[in-house]
Structure 1
Amino acid sequence: MTGAPVPYSPEVETIEPGEQAVQQELAETFRKIIETTYADSGLALRGVHAKNHALLQCELDVIDGLPAELAQGVFGSPRTYPVLIRISAGAGDILPDSISLLRGIGIKLIGVEGDRLAGSEGASTQDFLLASGKAFPSSDPRKFLANLKLLAATTDKVEGLKKAVSAVFRTVEKGVNAMGGESQTLEQLGGHPNTHPLGESFFSQAPVRYGAYIAKLSLVPRSATFKALEGKDVDIAGRPDALREEIAQTLAAAGGEWELRVQLCRDLATDPIEDASAQWPEEENPYPPVAVLRVPSQPSWTLRRARMLDEEMSFNPWHGIEEHRPLGAVMRARKVAYAASVDLRSRLNGCPIHEPATTDLPA
């Protein structure tokens, strides 16, 4: 690694004129998606990542002996956190897995101490939201809004066409990958490879405060069970919930582990805060491990678990402590949009959304 990590200060963020108006328009677009799916199903779903593939009880072990620059925030000392995780698909409506969308993973640590971010007072949780792909599909909130409007316009419409488009995009994406590239736009629109989610690597994409510093996070398969699934194709033919079924089959037989890694910001020119679509160079600044996420063998999906995590809880990068404050324009936009979405889901479903005190999940 070259260069000392950039110290965190509020000055690393640059708030542009007009941000608030874009944030409100994002919240309005999320509202339209939620109201559309509510009218169809009678259930207010998340505006994005509505479909879950797995709902899991886990533990996060912080590695002992981390160097000072990595021993920050919740990773400041060796300990074990109880964790809930939710693995999901990117769309705001429930689609068959033949429409192959990017994946997300929501990680909720329980028993976290520290000064709370505004809006999460009184809780003791820390959420990290990661997705497949190293960079966010949009560089700024305006482009995020344009992409979200495209998703909103196709919510609950023309499923057969979506399947056909997804198949084409997957083929194109394979060509991009073969040439050493990655297209977040193609993957967002249905071109994600139909691979096993437990073999997936996930990324925070946008930066967060990392105690005294700034970082991006990643989650990478560590155990032999999960490594064996990296890049493994899943047969989706005639199986609308193929990914959920594959995860259930794997975790019924054995558990596994991911490694949580951190890439520190070392140069604001090459590791920008405000452009969420920029990948920070890794050649001389890789992601070293800071914790191990252990996933025991368990039933990975049940209707009771789905009701609990989908209707009674939310995952939000702004649920947490100041030492892990989300950074950059996209993260600031998500704060407004996610809060409005949670309020709407709670009201429509008649079910208060709350932060859990334990990882106890129903069978």
Structure 2
Amino acid sequence: MTETLKNAYDSAKSALSSAPPNDAYLRWDAPGVEHIRPDEAGKAKKIGETMNKMQQHNFDQHRHCFRATHVKTQGIVKGTLTVLPDLAPHLRQGMFKQPGKTYDVAARYANEPVFLQPDQDPGPRGLGMRVFGVEGERLEGADPDGTTQDWFFNNAPMIELTDIDTCLDIMQLREQNFDSPTMLSAKTKVRTDAVKQNAPGMLPNTNIISHSFFTQSAFRHGDWYGHLALFPVLDDMKAHQEKVKSSASREQLREWLREYFAKNGAKYEFKIQLGTSPSHHPTEDSSVVWDEATAPYQTIATLSFPPQDPFNHERRVFWEDRMRLSPWDCLKEHQPLGSINRLRKYVYDMSRRKREEVNAVKTKSNPQRESTLLP
């Protein structure tokens, strides 16, 4: 055992020591940053079809069609994102080009699973965010008249879905065992990546306001590429480490958010890790946590939400049924990277079309006044 630990330590130390300097940033389109396989489109379509089936399972139970993931809304808040006034030149990319610029923002806290999960059950929590008034060259295929930028975060720095092949396997398992969490757990425990697949269930089931959030996957940042994250700033946020008890309400997380925002605001530091090496900072394996020694976090903006009612029903319904978010409807300088992000181009659109069809409600794509339309 001692020898095994020593070998693991030596390997880790060697990996760190062989990494390029942490300010030798690599271009987003450098060889090795992405590796696009010819069969990805077909596999992404299968994943989308599988997630449509899970949307149908939810409809059959609740007579409403939800998103394919992050089904359960815990709160929706409106606020502002402000680029740092003294931002370093290499970080002035995309929507962060103008130091001190402030944008209107709306964000949704949610449970990540594909069903309406009771809050007593541990699991990933997410934060989806739309930034309004974003000007600049849009990515090919994005709404050319759009002025928004969408970001998606989870409260773990890695995603167990790893890549497009693993994602297909896991989503098919989840769909086949949609009504049997016990059977799903048993089947994932016999996989060779069982530890990774069961990691989300080991996340601390605590008050969402205290969580840090991570994109888990990589994005272009102008000339460079990186992972992004949100870290709580206020002591009031960090202090709320309460754990959800088994005897608590199945809506405990929503209730805590509502109690918090009734009296308090929230503030996050918006940070980025810039990659320097495809082997140390991969885009194709999203289960790899980028080491902060080789890719330190750098603050690029602050995100602030004033006190408000985060569970305003008019606001919730507008977001759930009318909002259409996608990481691919974005600025060219923030192009999503890696197979997990590439499959989202298909899956998010298939999920959106399923919701529109079943709920008989058209979603809105980047209306110019959406920030004021959102209640």
Whether these two folds match at TM > 0.5 is: yes
1:26-62: CA deviations, max 9, x gaps?
0111110111111222211011110011111011011
**2:198 aligns with one of 179, 182, 186:** 186
Distance (Å, rounded) in 2 between the aligned partners of 1:96 and 1:280 = 31
Q: Contact between 1:57 and 1:361, CA under 8 Å: does it hold in 2?
A: no
**1:50 aligns with one of 67, 71, 84:** 71
Question: What does residue range 293-332 of structure 1 map to in structure 2 within 5 Å?
Answer: 293-332=303-342
SS in structure 2 opposite 1:97?
coil
Distance (Å, rounded) in 1 between the aligned partners of 2:349 and 2:110 = 19
Distance (Å, rounded) in 1 between the aligned partners of 2:47 and 2:262 = 39
1:210 maps to which residue?
221
**1:7 aligns with one of 27, 38, 41:** 27
What letter corresponds to residue 148 of structure 1 in structure 2? M
Identity across aligned pairs (percent)?
27
Which moves more between the two structures, 12-21 or 245-254?
12-21
**1:39 aligns with one of 19, 44, 60:** 60
**1:242 aligns with one of 232, 235, 252:** 252
Distance (Å, rounded) in 2 between the aligned partners of 1:93 and 1:262 = 31
Question: What does residue range 219-258 of structure 1 map to in structure 2 within 5 Å?
Answer: 219-229=230-240, 231-235=241-245, 237-258=247-268
1:241-283: CA deviations, max 9, x gaps?
1000001001101112011100001122211121111111211
Distance (Å, rounded) in 2 between the aligned partners of 1:194 and 1:347 = 34
How far has the Cα of 1:236 moved from its partner? Answer: 5.0
2:119 pairs with 1:107: no
2:40 maps to which residue?
19
1:121-175: CA deviations, max 9, x gaps?
32211001011111121221010111212222333x257x59xx79xx9xxxxxx
2:176 maps to which residue?
153
Distance (Å, rounded) in 2 between the aligned partners of 1:267 and 1:275 = 13
TM-score with structure 1 setting the length = 0.89
Q: Contact between 2:22 and 2:293, CA under 8 Å: does it hold in 1?
A: no
What letter corresponds to residue 2 of structure 1 in structure 2? N
How far has the Cα of 1:235 moved from its partner? Answer: 3.5
2:208 pairs with 1:197: yes
SS in structure 1 opposite 2:116?
coil
Aligned length: 343
Q: Contact between 1:110 and 1:126, CA under 8 Å: does it hold in 2?
A: yes
Distance (Å, rounded) in 2 between the aligned partners of 1:115 and 1:95 = 39
Q: Contact between 2:215 and 2:229, CA under 8 Å: does it hold in 1?
A: yes
2:14 maps to which residue?
none
